[in-house]
């Protein structure tokens, strides 16, 4: 085996060593501390939990593929976190999607950071001053801002979000 192959194998072994089993009870406790309740979305064949912001028709959806008998093999999956806008007459729309939380030793800290970020985002969302529909988080050129969900029908100019929230969203989101 060549020197570069040996280094590659060592790196893979070290990386796999970071993966860990996530105890479903530990996961459930973290979810409970954040006020999440079981949530069922059609088409999701996994455990889902939601943190609801009823006054804004928003939900932070936490999805994990724990099977009902325990858990997945080490490193087999990740925990997904999305901010969704719900409506009685339409399918939920993704307002923002975070990078998946990998099943590594620091999973709980990583997941908590993402939940805190989306809670801040949910608090900053507001109604469009022009048409009164809820604004959504948008991004362009590594900038995050609020845009009307009725665009292009509504031509309300975009509105800024706090620099702190923008930095958090860019760091942990899937928009690279």
Q: For residue 75, is it within any domain?
A: yes
Tally of domains in the chain: 1
Q: For residue 29, is it within any domain?
A: yes
Q: For residue 72, is it within any domain?
A: yes
Q: For residue 13, is it within any domain?
A: no
Please report which confidence band the pLDDT of residue 46 belongs to, taking 50, 70 and 90 as the band edges. low
Q: For residue 6, is it within any domain?
A: no
**Phi, psi angle pair for 112, to nearest 5°:** -60, -40
Tell me whether residue 61 is exposed, middle or buried, using C-beta atoms within 10 angstroms of its C-beta: 0 to 12, 13 to 18, 19 or more: buried
Q: Residue 53 sits in which domain range?
A: 21-172
51 compared with 38, residue with greater pLDDT: 51
Closest CA to 56 of 126, 159, 154: 126
- The rounded distance, in Å, linking the Cα atoms of 90 and 75 is 35
Burial readout 106-133 (b: 16 or more C-beta within 10 A, e: otherwise): ebeebbebbbebbbebbebbeebeeeeb
Q: Are 117 and 168 in contact (CB under 8 A)?
A: yes
What's the predicted TM-score (pTM) here?
0.75
Q: For residue 14, is it within any domain?
A: no
Q: Is the pLDDT of residue 11 over 60?
A: no
- Say what percent of the chain tops pLDDT 70: 74
Please report which confidence band the pLDDT of residue 42 belongs to, taking 50, 70 and 90 as the band edges. low
Residues 90-101 pLDDT 10s: 778 888 888 888
Q: For residue 47, is it within any domain?
A: yes
- The sign of the CA dihedral 159, 110, 119, 48 is positive
Q: For residue 129, is it within any domain?
A: yes
Q: Are strands 143-148 and 101-102 parallel, antiparallel or unpaired?
A: unpaired
């Amino acid at each position: 085996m060549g020197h570069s192959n040996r280094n590659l194998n060592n790196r893979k072994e070290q990386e796999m060593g970071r993966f860990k089993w996530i105890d479903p009870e530990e996961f459930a406790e973290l979810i409970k501390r954040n006020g999440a309740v079981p949530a069922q979305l059609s088409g999701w064949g996994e455990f889902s939990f939601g943190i609801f912001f009823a006054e804004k028709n928003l939900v932070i959806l936490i999805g994990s593929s724990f099977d009902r008998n325990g858990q997945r093999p080490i490193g087999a999956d990740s925990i997904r976190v999305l901010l969704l806008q719900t409506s009685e007459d339409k399918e939920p729309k993704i307002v923002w999607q975070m990078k998946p939380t990998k099943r590594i030793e620091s999973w709980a800290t990583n997941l908590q950071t993402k939940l805190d970020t989306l809670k801040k985002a949910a608090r900053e969302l507001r109604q469009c001053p022009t048409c009164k529909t809820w604004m959504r988080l948008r991004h362009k050129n590594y900038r995050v801002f609020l845009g009307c969900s009725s665009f292009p029908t509504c031509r309300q100019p975009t509105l800024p979000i706090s620099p702190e929230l923008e930095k958090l969203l860019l760091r942990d989101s899937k928009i690279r």
